[in-house]
A and B are shown apart, each in its own frame.
Chain A
């Protein structure tokens, strides 16, 4: 079956370094991808998205890269801060006719060392 997965369950980075969180997806028909950030005890928050007709999109301190050839999605966080500590989820959208379905990965914990 189709699945979205994350390569590493946890990632520890030094404050000020750049973070790279990776995600693999297996549905080549997915047309839209989202990264969410979930802080402890809260609901996931939208960070950035990218459509399948793009390979890179930049936000404030974050960049999402999409490699459709190898079905790989990554989130890059520049100058990681303690407030970036959270669980990060990737999600892929697959559209079938008028319906679309968002499938979430299992999540990876980003821990920022002071």
Chain B
């Protein structure tokens, strides 16, 4: 069966510090990978998605970047965090082929920028 892991689960970082959130998927190959952000009491905002190694699409302009160095690894980064980067970050995956594929989420990472 497929599993998705992301870490760290919680993070408190000062403004201006760097960020690295990591996500790995097991039990599947060539998945589509996603990073979402969920602000408190709000819905899910798609930040980045990737259809393959080194292929990153950004949905919204922001202070963050994403990378996919391996097939099942997706990393969310920032060089200098802003207060507005605080939120709940979710990594997710789906199968690559066909339309209408369910997206499966990781457990999330709480980021508080202070």
Cross-chain contact of A32 among B42, B92, B100, B108 (Cβ < 8 A): B100
CB distance from A85 to the nearest CB of B (A): 16
Residues on the B chain within 8 Å of A84, using CB = none
Residues on the A chain within 8 Å of B27, using CB = none
- Residue contact A31 to B44, C-beta cutoff 8 Å: no
Query: Does B15 touch A at the CB level, under 8 Å?
Result: no
- Residue contact A43 to B105, C-beta cutoff 8 Å: yes
Given A42-B107, A43-B107, A46-B104; A32-B43 close (CB under 8 Å): no
CA distance A107 to B108 in the complex (A): 17
A-B contacts, CB under 8 A, total:
44
Question: Which chain B residue shows the least CB distance to A42?
Answer: B107
Question: Which chain B residue shows the least CB distance to A30?
Answer: B100
Interface core residue of B99, B100, B101, B102 (most chain A CB under 10 Å)? B100
Query: Does A79 touch B at the CB level, under 8 Å?
Result: no
Q: How many B residues touch the partner, as a band?
A: 10 to 19
Question: Which chain A residue shows the least CB distance to B45?
Answer: A104
- Residue contact B42 to A42, C-beta cutoff 8 Å: no
Main secondary structure on A side of the interface with B: strand
CA distance A41 to B100 in the complex (A): 27
How many A residues touch B, CB cutoff 8 Å? 22
Cross-chain contact of A51 among B100, B103, B106 (Cβ < 8 A): B100
- Residue contact B108 to A41, C-beta cutoff 8 Å: yes
Residues of A bordering B, CB below 8 Å: 31-32, 34, 36, 41-46, 49, 51, 89, 91, 93, 95, 100, 102, 104-107
New contact pairs (17) apart from A32-B100, A107-B43, CB-CB < 8 Å: A31-B99, A36-B105, A41-B108, A42-B107, A42-B108, A44-B44, A44-B90, A44-B105, A46-B102, A51-B100, A89-B43, A93-B99, A93-B101, A100-B99, A100-B101, A102-B103, A106-B42
Which 10 pairs of residues, A with B, have the shortest CB-CB distance?
A32-B100, A43-B105, A95-B99, A106-B43, A100-B99, A104-B44, A43-B108, A93-B100, A44-B105, A43-B107
A–B complex contacts, Cβ < 8 Å, 7 sampled: A31-B100, A32-B100, A43-B105, A43-B106, A95-B99, A105-B43, A107-B42
